[in-house]
Amino acid sequence: MDGQARNGVASPKRASPPRSAKDSSRKVRGGRVAKGATHSKGRKAAQSASASTKPPPSRSRRPPKPDALDETSSPELTELLNEYRQKVILPTYLVPEQRKKIYKRRLEKYLVNDPVTMEIDGVVHKFRYVDVTKDVPSTPKTWAAALRLMQTPADFANIRPLLEGLKRAHRALTPAMQHRMVRWAGAHAAGGSGGALQVVLDAARSVRRTGFALSSSELVGQVLLALQGPAINGGWSEAETRTALKRVRGVLDMLESDEAHAPRAETAGAFPFFRDPQMLAYHLHLVAAIAVHHHAGADRDGIVAKYAAELVALWPEGAGLLDLQPEEAYADPAKMKYLLDRNVYLWYAAPVLSALGMAAKMVEPELAKQLQSRAAKVESEVKDALNSSERKKGGRGELMYNALFNPQPKA
């Protein structure tokens, strides 16, 4: 169809007048994008005339309908999300030839009066020229600003469609963006199906659509600790602790069963994450906490002993948390280097030390001895971190340590 005017823009090869926006519109209904049904007689004649010299266009699978954004708690957040959706996500639902047009500077004037259009559930979206050097929003900046503005469950519901849009637009969900989201969820942990933590879990379960893969030690540990934050901060209430245990166990099961979360070669460690002693210690922490705080320190049904034995079987005797991986892994930012920051180490290590200590008090002497040998090494590392002049005082690591070992009574 060389020389035909399409999508409200005259082809640069012909001087024919542009078609109307009506003819160039696309509609999205029932989860499919379809071309408008109106065609001029001249267009049909041109198609017929060119049929003998050009093969018919190939038919590609129509893209799904983009998810609408939920209402937000502030006009500022609504504007931010809508701008990103309009300029980054929605253009991916245009056919390639339409999408290319909105990025061509020489078509800027045509698109002012005859924009490319697409109808989604009765709403017409217009696409004019976009200068990729200055008009396309920064993904990391938009992500950070959006998380900062999100305050309500309705706001949180926009995380998933935003993640899916990022993946569709081939925008990288960087480690920094992932960690920011988990920290945000921990700070807004509301519990229940509408909580921010549940949003993170749902995104991980839908990794093939969202791109949120738990594929590094730092991220897996951060998620597992964020999930038990409400229990720790809530004084180990039974409801919060059992909810945290269920979620942590679910994440470990997901890591084992879903290959989409398998680490890449550059982030893989000595253990699969679902068998990593560090991660298993976070699970043991909650199992032991339930026994200590709600079963009078008794190991009912031997559950604590079961998971403690599993842990020591994988954790070499005499090794601390900083000895579980090959030495070179602690120099690699993609692997374990995060634990060399003294404040960060405290945040990740304090729950491990707490788990080993609680479990050792309620299991058989031989198993208790094995737990204590690991705990002694971790405790030495923790003391080094606490006394380090390089550690920022009052940071999140110190807060975690005090919450577990120096809890303050609730006012």
Q: pLDDT of 337-358, one tens digit each? A: 999 999 999 999 999 999 999 9
Residues 363 and 371 sit within 8 Å (Cβ to Cβ): yes
Dihedral angle over CA of 74, 80, 82, 88, nearest 10: -160
CA proximity to 111, closest of 128, 125, 96? 128
Whether residue 54 has pLDDT greater than 80: no
Q: What is the pLDDT of residue 67?
A: 64
CA proximity to 6, closest of 98, 124, 113, 119? 98
Mean pLDDT of the 204-211 span: 95
Structure tokens at 94: 């245009």
Mean pLDDT of the 175-183 span: 94
CA–CA distance, 144 with 268 (Å, rounded to integer) = 27
Mean pLDDT of the 26-53 span: 45
Structure tokens at 21: 């926006």
What percent of the chain stands above pLDDT 70?
82
pLDDT digits (tens, 9 = 90+) for 372-392: 999 999 999 999 999 999 888
Instruction: Convert 3-30 to b/e letters by CB count within 10 Å (16 or more is b).
Output: ebbbbbbbeeeeeeebbebebbbbbbee
pLDDT band of 188, cuts 50, 70, 90: confident
CA–CA distance, 394 with 392 (Å, rounded to integer) = 6
- Higher per-residue pLDDT: 361 or 194: 361
**Hunting for tokens 């921010």 — which residue is that?**
196
* Amino acid at the residue 219: L
Q: Which of 18-32, 79-93, 103-117, 295-309 has the lowest mean pLDDT?
A: 18-32
Whether residue 84 has pLDDT greater than 50: yes
Dihedral angle over CA of 272, 277, 283, 288, nearest 10: 160
CA proximity to 256, closest of 283, 230, 231, 232? 283
**Hunting for tokens 């029932």 — which residue is that?**
30
Q: How many CA atoms are closer than 13 Å to the CA of 164, on its beta-carbon side?
A: 18
Whether residue 149 has pLDDT greater than 90: yes
Q: What is the pLDDT of residue 290?
A: 98
Structure tokens at 351: 């729950």
Give the distance, in angstroms, between the CA of residue 42 and the centroid of all CA atoms in the same chain. Answer: 50
CA–CA distance, 88 with 162 (Å, rounded to integer) = 10
Q: Are strands 116-120 and 26-29 parallel, antiparallel or unpaired?
A: parallel
Mean per-residue pLDDT of the chain: 85
Q: Which of 68-72, 96-100, 201-205, 223-227 has the lowest mean pLDDT?
A: 68-72
Q: What is the pLDDT of residue 118?
A: 86
Q: What is the pLDDT of residue 9?
A: 40
Mean pLDDT of the 130-139 span: 91
CA–CA distance, 286 with 359 (Å, rounded to integer) = 10
Q: What is the pLDDT of residue 321?
A: 97
Mean pLDDT of the 99-114 span: 90
Q: What is the pLDDT of residue 191?
A: 53
**Hunting for tokens 């049909």 — which residue is that?**
44
pLDDT band of 17, cuts 50, 70, 90: very low
Structure tokens at 47: 């198609």
Q: What share of the chain is helix, strand, coil (3-state, %, to 5)?
A: 60, 5, 35
Structure tokens at 273: 């994450």
pLDDT digits (tens, 9 = 90+) for 229-255: 999 999 999 999 999 999 999 999 999
pLDDT band of 8, cuts 50, 70, 90: very low
Q: If DSSP codes are grouped into helix, strand and coil, which group holds residue 374?
A: helix
CA proximity to 191, closest of 252, 233, 146? 233
Whether residue 32 has pLDDT greater than 70: no
